[in-house]
Chains A and B, each alone.
Chain A
């Protein structure tokens, strides 16, 4: 109880000081009471979900939380995306009452893949949603093989956990089949794109089971698609939740389980996020009949396609932190055919990954388009970003200070601005945009 109180006070103090303070609160709580996470997670009355995977964790997990809440349930969730051990502890501690009691039917917790083995000793979830596996911050996480080994170990630590995995991703499907109990798969059964970018970086082209080169019937993007191993017969599993009749561009819609789902989102990748949350909740026996209302009401406040309006300028802030995510971001930006200005902000702090070589694995040449009025590069590694663009014949303006870059484009831009940032810039850029939005009202 003392730990809960101290943690809550810490979070308050940090907020007053202008910092997020989520992970610090968790750290202090766990230090004061090492059993606190086990105790609080044990108070969840029905099911505990965790969401893992390189991209889409936060959106999927928050959607899942909203969907379950719409069924009249109480849910614990780490909304801000603080997803390592301390962040997970915080989610539970901050949801608890001052007397240490937790009033929750469900928990929806996103966990950084590498942290699963640190969290699972405290509690074993009932379900894991596995969104996808892409290369990400090689200097921090190492190769994908390392991440897969950790997830496999985590699945062994929670033998009763059911894995709900992206069947279009050979890496996730392999893991779920190897490690999970009665895995369930979601995916997009039929090809959607007429042409595919052959240059895109794809992971795991070789069968994880036997080492043969996988044969692909088609790709959606990156390595997601319909695959089959000529060597051992490993193939895309049957999709229990299969998104059909997809429409994409401006807004998304598709049919699953005879339910037509529509959302006012951009970005093909969001189909996977919407579908993953749906598959998770349905697997746990929830009806989700109000899912469309949930999607309509869902307004991301966390820099995932977050919209701002400053005078006549529409601004979209989006997180892009690895090649697969960035390529999907570019697709989402290009779905908007109006004239637009782009700001790309690249930092190399330790949470971003200090190695920024991945910029060269992103298909930035797609910004060489008539609809792109200007590109401004910002952040700690703006020079690297400018150089990256030079080698695809795109001239860019350099402005290390993102606030100046944003204000500049509000003043002289085309009124449609996309700000794409990597991890450590997200919180700060979000606050800057909130501030500017407030000034103009």
Chain B
């Protein structure tokens, strides 16, 4: 039987700041190139989300103002979202979406309540951390490359980071680590967007989603990744 995957894109009308469409496109294409059916459901602020039909959830980044609008809405779906995460549902949360995973985001405008999906918090500090960034992650062999642009400093406590910073600032500019991995959730500041230049991370998410859905060991058919690898290598060579 042909396998299929459903991606839920949360609030793309508000959280779409840094080419998040590229992450969706990447997941869709890498499924389709392997003969896996893929579809994306876009949820706007007024839509009801049925997490039971989703295999991957993407929560992108927005401006502070728009993030505030989303944050109120998220409280309504917190319970369902939490249950999905605890049941090993796959989530990729980028920039603002990453901050919203945590307990709160303290800005100079006030405090945004988070989703409490992962035990972490973010506090705004003067100066934005803006640059290209390179990580070494346990989730893949290739270095992870991207771009970060955030005023918030995220503290992940005892959680596992997404990667070790080889170039750039990462979670808080001090710890030497970037992002978070909790069950099948990845939270990260990396856009660029993240997945096209880091195809192994994309395949990791697809693999986890298929294993959860079909309850079997999945080994994804390898793809020809020349363009992905060269774009990735360009950044690593330039900054390391």
Binding site for B on A (CB under 8 A): 135, 138-139, 142-145, 199, 201, 205-206, 211, 213, 354-361, 381, 383-384, 386-388, 390-392
Instruction: Give the Cβ gap from A344 to chain B, nearest Cβ, in Å.
Output: 15
- As a 0/1 sequence over residues 55 to 68 of chain B, the CB contacts with chain A under 8 angstroms (1 = contact) are 00000000111100
User: By CB atoms of chain A within 10 A, which of B196, B227, B234 has the most?
Assistant: B227
**8 cross-chain pairs, A with B, having the tightest CB-CB distances, nearest first:** A360-B19, A360-B22, A357-B19, A143-B63, A383-B231, A357-B18, A387-B231, A387-B227
The B9-49 residues at the A interface (CB cut-off 8 A) are 13-14, 16-22, 25-26, 29, 45
Q: Which of B66, B128, B193, B196 contacts A206 (CB 8 A)?
A: B66
- Determine the distance from Cα of A387 to Cα of B132 in the docked complex, in whole angstroms: 17
B54 to chain A, nearest CB (A): 21
A142 to B63, CA, bound (A): 9
Per a CB cutoff under 8 Å, which of B69, B131, B196, B231 touches A211? B69
Contact A391 to B25, CB < 8 A, known contacts A201-B16, A354-B131, A383-B227: yes
Q: Contacts A387-B231, A391-B29 given; indicate if A355 touches B18 (C-beta within 8 A).
A: yes
Given contacts A138-B149, A144-B63, A354-B130, 9 further A-B contacts (CB under 8 A): A201-B21, A206-B69, A356-B147, A357-B191, A357-B193, A360-B22, A361-B19, A383-B227, A391-B22
Once bound together, how far apart are the Cα atoms of A173 and B104, in whole Å?
Answer: 34
Do residues B132 and A354 form an inter-chain contact, with CB atoms below 8 A?
yes
**CB pairs A–B below 8 angstroms (24 shown):** A139-B130, A145-B64, A145-B65, A199-B21, A201-B16, A205-B14, A206-B69, A211-B69, A354-B130, A355-B130, A355-B147, A356-B192, A357-B19, A357-B147, A357-B192, A357-B193, A360-B196, A383-B227, A384-B231, A387-B196, A387-B227, A387-B228, A387-B231, A388-B196
Q: Would you call B153 an interface residue if the criterion is a C-beta within 8 Å of the partner chain's C-beta atoms?
A: no
Residue contact A213 to B147, C-beta cutoff 8 Å:
no
On whether the beta carbons of B193 and A143 are closer than 8 Å, the reply is no
Residue numbers in B under 8 Å from A383 (CB-CB): 227, 230-231, 234
**A102, B167: Cα distance in complex, Å:** 51
Bound CA span A173–B191, Å: 31
Contact indicator A145/B149 (Cβ below 8 Å) = no
A360 touches B231 (CB 8 A): no
Give chain B nearest CB distance to A312 CB in angstroms. 33
Q: B149 to chain A: which residues have CB within 8 Å? A: 138-139, 355
**B155 on the A face (CB < 8 A):** no
Query: Once the chains are docked, how many angstroms separate the CA of A199 from the CA of B24?
Result: 13
User: Closest CB of chain B to A424's CB: distance in Å?
Assistant: 16
Which of A138, A211, A358 has most B Cβ within 10 Å? A138
Given known contacts A354-B131, A391-B26, A361 and B21 CB-to-CB distance under 8 angstroms: yes
Interface residues of B in 147-197 (CB under 8 A from A): 147, 149, 191-193, 196-197
Q: Enumerate chain B residues within 8 angstroms of A135, measured Cβ to Cβ.
A: 17
- Name the A residues within 8 Å of B20 (CB-CB): 360
Q: Which residues of B contact A205 (CB under 8 A)?
A: 13-14
Binding site for A on B (CB under 8 A): 13-14, 16-22, 25-26, 29, 45, 63-66, 69, 128, 130-132, 147, 149, 191-193, 196-197, 227-228, 230-231, 234
Q: Which of A139, A143, A144, A359 contacts B19 (CB 8 A)?
A: A359
**Once the chains are docked, how many angstroms separate the CA of A201 from the CA of B20?**
11
How long is the Cα–Cα vector from A145 to B25 in the complex, in angstroms? 27
Chain B residues with CB under 8 Å of A211's CB are 69
A357 touches B22 (CB 8 A): yes
Query: Measured between C-beta atoms, what is the minimum distance from A117 to chain B in Å?
Result: 19
Contact residues in B for A356 (Cβ distance below 8 Å): 147, 192
CA distance A279 to B55 in the complex (A): 52
Say how far B117's CB is from chain A's closest CB, in angstroms: 25
User: Smallest distance from the beta carbon of B105 to chain A beta carbons, Å?
Assistant: 15
Asked whether, in the complex, the Cβ of A390 is within 8 Å of the Cβ of B22, the reply is no
Instruction: Give the Cβ gap from B187 to chain A, nearest Cβ, in Å.
Output: 18
Nearest chain A residue, comparing its CB with the CB of B199: A387
User: CB distance B21 to A386 under 8 Å?
Assistant: no
The distance from the CB of B71 to the nearest CB of chain A, in whole angstroms, is: 13
Chain A, residue nearest B130 (CB)? A139
Bound-complex Cα distance A119 to B63 (A): 27
Smallest CB separation, A22 vs chain B (Å): 27
- Kindly state the separation between the CA atoms of A257 and B131 in the bound complex, as whole angstroms: 49
Verify B231–A143 contact, CB threshold 8 A: no
* CB of B201 to closest CB in A, whole Å: 14
Q: Is the CB of B29 within 8 A of A360?
A: no
Flag if B25 contacts A360 (CB, 8 Å): yes
Complex interface: chain A residues within 8 A of B128 (CB): 142
Instruction: Chain B residues near A387: list those with CB within 8 A.
Output: 196-197, 227-228, 231
The smallest beta-carbon distance between A157 and chain B, in angstroms, is 24
A238 to chain B, nearest CB (A): 28
A199 partner residues in chain B, CB cutoff 8 A: 21
Separation of A384 and B26 alpha carbons in the complex (Å): 13
- Are A143's CB and B45's CB within 8 A? no
A322 to chain B, nearest CB (A): 12
Report B-chain residues with C-beta under 8 Å of the C-beta of A213.
Answer: 45
Q: Is the CB of B227 within 8 A of A386?
A: yes
- A386 contacts which chain B residues (CB < 8 A)? 227, 230-231
